[in-house]
Amino acid sequence: MNPHEIDLVTASAQRLAPVLPDVAHTFYSRLFALYPDLRDAFPAQMEAQEKKFGDSVAAIVAAIPDFPAFAETSERLARVHVAHRVTASQYAALGPVLVDALAAHDPAWDAATRDAWAQAYDLLAESMQLSARP
């Protein structure tokens, strides 16, 4: 990611911080609507999961400008996702759902912000998958 993309993601994340619980709810609602087979992989009560989602988004955004911190964060998240047997196709499917959920709650969303978040997600997903390799 280039510095401008990092700035766009950071600014968007600041706007989204107060509504991250709503973003999480939107994300999981859309995820389960599009991929109902994934619902069984999550707890019946989603409040704690939605909090983890918000905490993870905040941690990732904070780490993006600092590659060692980003690598550490993505490795930590990879371990969790390996335990849940997340596949490469699931990583690919989740990106657009995440970007759409973010877009739904960011009042200043535009095409450049969408592209920056998509780039951030792709970087994270790739890093997590590489960290998960034996």
> According to the model, what pLDDT value does residue 84 have?
58
> According to the model, what pLDDT value does residue 73 have?
83
> According to the model, what pLDDT value does residue 86 have?
67
> According to the model, what pLDDT value does residue 82 have?
55
Residues of the chain with pLDDT under 70: 79-84, 86, 88, 132-134
> According to the model, what pLDDT value does residue 110 have?
98
3-state secondary structure the chain: CCHHHHHHHHHHHHHHHHHHHHHHHHHHHHHHHHCHHHHHHCCCCCHHHHHHHHHHHHHHHHHCCCHHHHHHHHHHHHHHHHHCCCCHHHHHHHHHHHHHHHHHHCCCCCHHHHHHHHHHHHHHHHHHHHHHCC
**Distance of alpha carbon 118 from alpha carbon 113, whole angstroms:** 8
> According to the model, what pLDDT value does residue 134 have?
62
60 alpha carbon, distance to own chain's centre: 8
